[in-house]
Amino acid sequence: MEEQMAFLGLPIETWLIVGGLYFVATFLPSVIALILRRKEVKKSK
Protein backbone atom coordinates (compact mmCIF):
# COMPACT_ATOMS: atom_id res chain seq x y z
CA MET A 1 0.00 0.00 0.00
CA GLU A 2 1.24 3.46 -0.88
CA GLU A 3 2.37 5.37 2.23
CA GLN A 4 0.49 8.68 2.55
CA MET A 5 2.07 11.81 4.02
CA ALA A 6 0.37 12.63 7.31
CA PHE A 7 0.38 15.19 10.10
CA LEU A 8 -0.98 14.21 13.53
CA GLY A 9 -2.00 10.94 11.92
CA LEU A 10 -4.25 12.66 9.35
CA PRO A 11 -3.37 12.63 5.61
CA ILE A 12 -2.09 15.96 4.27
CA GLU A 13 -4.75 15.87 1.56
CA THR A 14 -7.52 15.84 4.20
CA TRP A 15 -5.78 18.64 6.09
CA LEU A 16 -5.76 20.72 2.92
CA ILE A 17 -9.34 20.03 1.78
CA VAL A 18 -11.23 19.82 5.07
CA GLY A 19 -8.84 21.90 7.19
CA GLY A 20 -8.37 24.53 4.50
CA LEU A 21 -12.08 25.02 3.93
CA TYR A 22 -12.70 24.99 7.66
CA PHE A 23 -10.15 27.75 8.18
CA VAL A 24 -11.61 29.83 5.35
CA ALA A 25 -15.18 29.35 6.64
CA THR A 26 -14.12 30.40 10.16
CA PHE A 27 -12.60 33.71 9.16
CA LEU A 28 -14.65 34.59 6.09
CA PRO A 29 -17.29 36.59 8.02
CA SER A 30 -14.60 38.86 9.46
CA VAL A 31 -13.02 39.33 6.02
CA ILE A 32 -16.37 40.16 4.41
CA ALA A 33 -17.20 42.55 7.25
CA LEU A 34 -13.88 44.36 6.75
CA ILE A 35 -14.40 44.65 3.00
CA LEU A 36 -17.97 45.94 3.35
CA ARG A 37 -16.89 48.40 6.05
CA ARG A 38 -14.12 49.77 3.83
CA LYS A 39 -16.54 50.07 0.96
CA GLU A 40 -18.96 51.98 3.15
CA VAL A 41 -16.28 54.37 4.39
CA LYS A 42 -15.11 54.95 0.82
CA LYS A 43 -18.67 55.63 -0.31
CA SER A 44 -19.32 58.08 2.50
CA LYS A 45 -16.13 59.98 1.66
Binding residues for another protein, rule: CB under 8 A, are 6, 8-11, 13-14, 17-18, 21-22, 25-30, 32-33, 36-37, 40
Please, what is the minimum distance in Å from the beta carbon of residue 8 to another protein? 5
Euclidean distance between the first and the last CA atom of the chain, given in angstroms as a whole number = 62
Whole-number Å distance between alpha carbons of 35 and 29: 10
Cα–Cα distance for residue pair 41/35, rounded to 1 Å: 10
Q: How far is the CB of 30 from another protein (least distance, A)?
A: 5
Residue among 30 and 44 whose Cβ is closer to another protein: 30
